[in-house]
Amino acid sequence: MSVVPPSALGEPCVLLKLGEVVLKGKNRELFERRLQANIKSALKGFDVRADVRQRHGVIAILLPDGTSVDVADAVAERLTDVMGLVWIHRAWRVAKDPDAVTAAALELVAGRTELIERRATFAVRSRRRDKRFPLRSNELDRVVGGEINDKYGLPVRLKNPELTVHIEVDRDEVFVFTDGLPGHGGLPVGISGRGLVLMSGGIDSPVAAYRMLRRGLSVDFLHFSGIPFTTSESIYKAYALVRKLSKFQDRARLFVVPFGKAQQSLRSSGADRLQVVAQRRLMLKTAEEVAHRLRRDVLVTGDSLGQVSSQTLQNLTALDDAVAMPILRPLIGMDKTEIMAEARRIGTLAISELPDEDCCTLLAPRRAETRARIADLRQIEKRLDAEELAVQLAASIQEYKLDDPA
């Protein structure tokens, strides 16, 4: 049901608080332009013509007159997925007149019946970005706070109030708002370059992807399936995970490599206790080849130091040796419990925990080597011409379009 706002509240809008973006000196313009483009693309599905305006350290999304509260709320909610934003506030845009500001503030409080009933504490916090406004910030705080106190009897508490009424005086208007939705912070996706995430069906790699998205990397995804020796379950999981993460960027692509036969060749070449590390090297070589084709500059994995035998320092060093392209490992210093908590927060954990047949457990030796020697790995790779095999595997990738029915 749509509710048209009472007139005292002015026009609905969404006010966005930027994080690090404002700190970026002369690159700032670039950052802001990217952020605005990402905001516009996030709002593509909405039937509102949003007017995105950059102010000092904030962005105001002006919605057309008569936009319902529900739509304004949905716009705010959608924008919580845009990286680079710290707070998303549903705000009211009113005339630059102390009476209009007071009226809007009173209306906002009036809507919070639950807080009024239990006489919750409140504070008013004003900021003037335009110093020509007739009242100074502290005067505005006192005037508006006094009116709220008179009308609703709520006690003022400046430290940790239960309700904060924010007033921001801008060049052309005043924004009045209460609580906001927290954003992810970080940097706008795309500003840091383009990466390729090695995406298993597990818990770690989606979190690694999220962390790099939050640092402004746009990413495509590459999954290795044990097919034809495993079922397709791991592909479905990778697909569902990529889909879950797709809200953070404009376009996400998933590519799948049928890897089972290559794993078998490694075994036939006597990989033995080195099987797992040798497989991971072949994955990286293939990923590097795919990255070149997709014009991606960096690989991303969910490795965390010491988590499993393939992630000892010595084995990670042996993995780095397989490719020239840099490998980003954003989870390297995180504990499994921390990674799981983050996976839960971003909504990927439940998908990752579904059962599947991971290609890595296929053909895994009973005792895996924890101190792989690079010379031994290269020896194995020479026997089956791993470089050529990686090129063939890269040529065999299949794209899973995200809007295809899974």
If one asks whether residue 308 binds ligand ATP (CB under 6 A), the answer comes out as yes
Told to check if 198 binds ligand ATP by CB under 6 A, we report yes
Told to check if 213 binds ligand ATP by CB under 6 A, we report no
| Segment near ligand ATP (CB under 6 A); pick from 27-35, 126-134, 200-208, 387-395 | 200-208
- Residue 307 touches which of ligand ATP, Mg ion, none (CB < 5 to 8 A by kind)? ligand ATP
- CA 133 to chain CA centroid, nearest Å: 38
When asked if residue 203 is in the footprint of ligand ATP (CB under 6 A), the reply is yes
Minimum gap (Å) between residue 203 Cβ and Mg ion: 8
**Residue 199 interaction partner, one of Mg ion, ligand ATP, none, beta carbon < 5-8 Å per kind:** ligand ATP
**Cβ atoms 227, 251 nearer than 8 A:** no
Residue with tokens 């008569």: 66
Output the CA–CA distances (angstroms, integers) from residue 142 to 111, 137, 177, 182, 360, in the order listed: 21, 9, 17, 27, 64
Comparing CA positions, the residue from 269, 196, 256, 206 lying closest to residue 227 is 256
* Tokens at 351, concatenated: 């998908």
Residue choice 36, 137, 307, 370 for contact with ligand ATP (CB under 6 A): 307
Token pair of 306 as six digits: 């010491």
* 266 annotated as a binding-site residue: no
Residue type, 287: A
């693309």: which residue's tokens?
Answer: 41
Residue type, 225: S
What one-letter code names the amino acid at 292? H
Of 153-161, 200-208, 260-268, 329-337: span binding Mg ion (CB under 5 A): 200-208
212 is known to lie in a ligand binding site:
no
Residue 54 binds which one of ligand ATP, Mg ion, none, with CB within 5 to 8 A depending on kind? none
Q: According to CB under 6 A, which residues from 92 to 121 bind ligand ATP?
A: none
Please identify, using beta-carbon distances, which residue of 63 and 257 lies nearer to Mg ion.
257
Q: Is 204 in the site for ligand ATP (CB under 6 A)?
A: yes
The residue (of 78 and 280) whose beta carbon lies closer to Mg ion is: 280
Considering the rule CB under 6 A, would residue 393 count as an interface residue with ligand ATP? no
CA-CA distance, 172 to 96, in Å (whole number)?
Answer: 7
Integer Cα distance of 280 and 206 in angstroms = 18
Judged by CB under 5 A, does residue 202 bind Mg ion? yes
Residue 71: exposure state from Cβ atoms within 10 A (0-12, 13-18, ≥19)? middle
Coil, strand or helix at 194:
strand
Q: Does 200 sit near Mg ion (CB under 5 A)?
A: yes
- The single residue among 35, 42, 199, 327 that binds ligand ATP, judged by CB under 6 A, is 199
CA–CA gap between residue 400 and residue 65 (Å, rounded): 41
Provide the residue type at 128 as one letter: R
Which residues contact ligand ATP by CB under 6 A? 198-200, 202-205, 223-224, 283, 301-303, 307-308, 310-311, 359-360
Which residues contact Mg ion by CB under 5 A? 200, 202
Residues of the binding site for ATP:
198-199, 223-224, 280, 302, 311
